[in-house]
Amino acid sequence: QKEVEQDPGPLSVPEGAIVSLNCTYSNSAFQYFMWYRQYSRKGPELLMYTYSSGNKEDGRFTAQVDKSSKYISLFIRDSQPSDSATYLCAMSEGAGNMLTFGGGTRLMVKP
């Protein structure tokens, strides 16, 4: 069993839909949780960064962390075709420590 599990998709939604992306993990020592967006053949781009449990909102993006369930989510409101990419969740035990990634979910937003 992988340390971080993520549904690979692809997830196809119409433009304007609310998108929900999720990851589960097994290591209770993870304290820092991140979501990265990666376009084809590019490096990952940091979207959201959360410490411990709780919610964080940034524009159309909301990240949620539930440490008791070992479950994190990323919500995208009013999705746009430009949001079409692979979304990677990542976690670490300490700030700046090695990141453990999920396998990524491929999202396609259709006009």
Partner 1 sequence: DAGVTQSPTHLIKTRGQQVTLRCSPKSGHDTVSWYQQALGQGPQFIFQYYEEEERQRGNFPDRFSGHQFPNYSSELNVNALLLGDSALYLCASSLVASGSYTDTQYFGPGTRLTVL
Interacting residues with partner 1 (CB under 8 A):
4, 6, 8, 32, 34, 36, 41-46, 49, 51, 88, 90, 92, 95-104
Q: Which is nearer to partner 1, 42 or 77 (CB)?
A: 42
DSSP assigned state of 17:
-
Cβ of residue 5: shortest distance to partner 1, in angstroms? 11
Q: Which is nearer to partner 1, 14 or 43 (CB)?
A: 43
The helix/strand count (H/E) of the chain reads as 0, 11
Of the candidates 79, 91, 88, the residue with the CA atom closest to the CA atom of residue 106 = 88
Nearest distance, CB of residue 15 and partner 1, angstroms: 26
Nearer to partner 1, 70 or 106 (CB): 106
Q: Which residue number, 26 or 97, has a Cβ lying nearer to partner 1? A: 97
Shortest distance, CB of residue 91 to partner 1, whole angstroms?
11
The total of other beta-carbon atoms located within 10 Å of residue 81's CB is: 10
Least distance to partner 1, CB of residue 62, Å: 18
Q: How far apart are the C-alpha atoms of 77 and 2, rounded to whole Å?
A: 29
CA distance 72 to 67: 8
